[in-house]
Structure 1
Amino acid sequence: MDFRYLGNSGLKVSEISYGNWLTHGSQVENEQAKACVKAALEAGITTFDTADVYANTAAETVLGEALEGQRRESLEILTKVYWPTGPGGPNDVGLSRKHIHESINGSLKRLKTDYVDVYQAHRFDTETPLEETMEAFADVVRQGKALYIGTSEWTADQLREGHRLARELRVPLVSNQPQYNMLWRVIEAEVVPASEELGIGQVVFSPIAQGVLTGKYKPGQQPPEGSRATDAKGGADMISRWLKDDVLERVQELQPIADEAGLSLSQLAIAWVLQNRNVSSAIIGASRPEQVTENVKAAGVKLEDALLKRIDESLGNAIETDPAKTAQNAPQTRPGS
């Protein structure tokens, strides 16, 4: 495993991290989930990402149990706050001082740890003053419950304003967690340049486009039984935008490129996001341990410029680059409000 600094901080993270969105406490039985975490640890992954909203807090509980007994100092644990949790009451959502403080306490209890390495704003809260949010995050850091703070899917302007307040409060805002993959490149035009300017690193999710870039979804065919596209608990909704024949046909054109590089399609996709120097870590998920073992082989892979150009040519107009999509895909009001 190779390691990278998280933004301009002194914290190193494994360049491939393990996340349990849509799996632990939901799609995958607990024992299988723990086996996936064990495989991640054996592969050299030290960075684990979760969120309180995943499976309505159950994912944090499973991860906490799976990591129990590991040397805490050898791990980097990231979690997030924003989306509704619990019974979904009026204050069970957002980035208010109340919700942030109650959420970090719940997350620490479920994760069986005294602190998280990075506490992330899971989205931007349009209904709470940013000053209130950042002051609450600063309190969490000063109380020793988090070492660093981060964001997820914030726009360039939101990152700049959040970073300005973090500097005034003297707390380290060091990361952003966006979706990023060969097909979804909307952060490249604005978010990445702003992050490089501010010293913020990307911890990216969906590097294989929720399985589409593995090539297992074939144009004109039904999704494989048991795949995320057939999961009624949420996976099918999340992946549906990629399941168009024109996109799937272009993905199939990547197979000879992967073969030439000596990689599987999933390894090629993960290696691709790691070519971006602003990416500190790529999050992989898994429903089986062998998926972890395969995907970590993308660590340390260098893709030549000519190969990257062929990827672009193969995917063509299936690539989304519009920077406005970051804001468009974010909630304009708090969920449930």
Structure 2
Amino acid sequence: MESRYLGASGFKISAITYGNWLTHGSQIEADAATACVHAALDAGITTFDTADVYANTRAESVLGDALRGHRRQSLEIFTKVFGPTGPKGHNDVGLSRKHILESIDGSLARLGTDYVDLYQAHRYDYFTPLDETMQAFADVVRAGKALYIGVSEWTADELRAAAPLAKELRIQLISNQPQYSALWRVIEAEVVPTSKELGISQIVWSPIAQGVLTGKYLPGKPHPEGSRATDDKGGAGAIRRFLTDDVLTRVQGLQPIAQELSLSLAQLAVAWVLQNENVATAIIGASRPEQVRENVAASGVVIPEELMRRIDDVLGDAVERDPRRTDESSPKFREA
């Protein structure tokens, strides 16, 4: 397993991260989740990503249970704060000082650890002053409850505003966690260049576009039983935008390229995101251990430039590139 530095820090993580969004505590039972985590460990994955909002805190608990007994210093554990958990009261959401300081304690208890390696702002909070948020993160770091700070789905302007505050507070803001795949490239125009300038790496989620880039969804055919597209607990909504006949036909056109590299389509998709020098790690999820074992084979793969150009040609205008899509991911209103 290849390891990479995260941002402008001395902190190294595995090039493949195991994440448990939409799986632990939701799609699969705890014993299956534990088997996937152990498969990840066996494959050399040391980095694990979760969030308190996943399955309304259950995902953190399942991950903590699965990692129990493993040497803590050999693991990198990430979690996030923003979304509503518990009874979803008016202070149970966002990046206020109150919510951050209460949420970190809950996350640590569920994960069964004294600290997380990376604590991330899951979205940008338009209702809390940024300096309040960054001061709260600084206090979390100084209390020894997190080692580094990151964000998720922040725009270039938001990163640029946060970086000097982090520097002033003497904490290390080293990562952003955006959606990124061969089909979803909205970070390339603005977020990636800004991140390079600021010493921030990308921890990318959905490198296989919610499973579409595995090639298992065929144009004009029913979706496979038990797949994310048929999951009524949230998976179907996340994948819907990719399930057009045009996109699915183009994905099938990637098969010859994958075969030329002796890769599956899923491995090709993960290897593709890892070619971006600003990407430190790609998050994979799994409902079965064999999916973990397949995807880790993408670590260390180098796709020649000529084949990268062919991938671009095959996918064509099916690729989403509009940088404004990042801003759309952070809520502009509060229900509570």
Per the normalisation by structure 2, the TM-score is 0.99
Aligned ranges for residues 151-300 of structure 1 at < 5 Å? 151-300=151-300
Deviation sequence 1:13-51 (CA, Å, 0-9, x none): 000000000000000100000000000000000000000
- Give me the whole-angstrom Cα distance separating, in 1, the residues matched to 2:328 and 2:180: 15
Deviation sequence 1:244-294 (CA, Å, 0-9, x none): 001101001001110011100000000000000000000000000000000
2:319 is matched with 319
Q: Which amino acid aligns with 2:195?
A: S
- Give me the whole-angstrom Cα distance separating, in 2, the residues matched to 1:79 and 1:180: 19
Deviation sequence 1:217-255 (CA, Å, 0-9, x none): 000011100000000000001000000001101001001
Deviation sequence 1:277-312 (CA, Å, 0-9, x none): 000000000000000000000000000000000000
Quote the offset at 1:329 in angstroms.
Answer: 2.8
2:144 is matched with 144
- Give me the whole-angstrom Cα distance separating, in 1, the residues matched to 2:164 and 2:244: 41
Q: Which amino acid aligns with 1:9?
A: S
Q: How many residues are treated as equivalent by the alignment?
A: 336
- Give me the whole-angstrom Cα distance separating, in 1, the residues matched to 2:236 and 2:87: 24
| Shift >2 Å, 4+ stretches | none
Matched, 1:35 2:41: no
Contact 1:23–1:33, Cα closer than 8 Å, also in 2: yes
Q: Structure 2 stretches of 5 or more lacking a match?
A: none
Q: Which amino acid aligns with 1:174?
A: I
Quote the offset at 1:331 in angstroms.
Answer: 1.2
Task: Name the SS of the counterpart of 1:276 in structure 2.
Answer: coil
- Give me the whole-angstrom Cα distance separating, in 2, the residues matched to 1:258 and 1:172: 38
2:77 is matched with 77
Deviates more, 1:236-245 or 1:324-333: 324-333
Task: Name the SS of the counterpart of 1:322 in structure 2.
Answer: coil
Task: Name the SS of the counterpart of 1:119 in structure 2.
Answer: strand
1:20 is matched with 20
2:116 is matched with 116
Q: Structure 1 stretches of 5 or more lacking a match?
A: none
Quote the offset at 1:332 in angstroms.
Answer: 1.2
- Give me the whole-angstrom Cα distance separating, in 2, the residues matched to 1:92 and 1:256: 49
Task: Name the SS of the counterpart of 2:17 in structure 1.
Answer: strand
- Give me the whole-angstrom Cα distance separating, in 1, the residues matched to 2:281 and 2:292: 15
Contact 1:125–1:333, Cα closer than 8 Å, also in 2: no
- Give me the whole-angstrom Cα distance separating, in 1, the residues matched to 2:93 and 2:226: 32
Contact 2:254–2:311, Cα closer than 8 Å, also in 1: yes
Per the normalisation by structure 1, the TM-score is 0.99
- Give me the whole-angstrom Cα distance separating, in 1, the residues matched to 2:87 and 2:243: 33
Q: Which amino acid aligns with 1:268?
A: L
Deviation sequence 1:84-135 (CA, Å, 0-9, x none): 1001100010000000001000000000000000000000000000010000
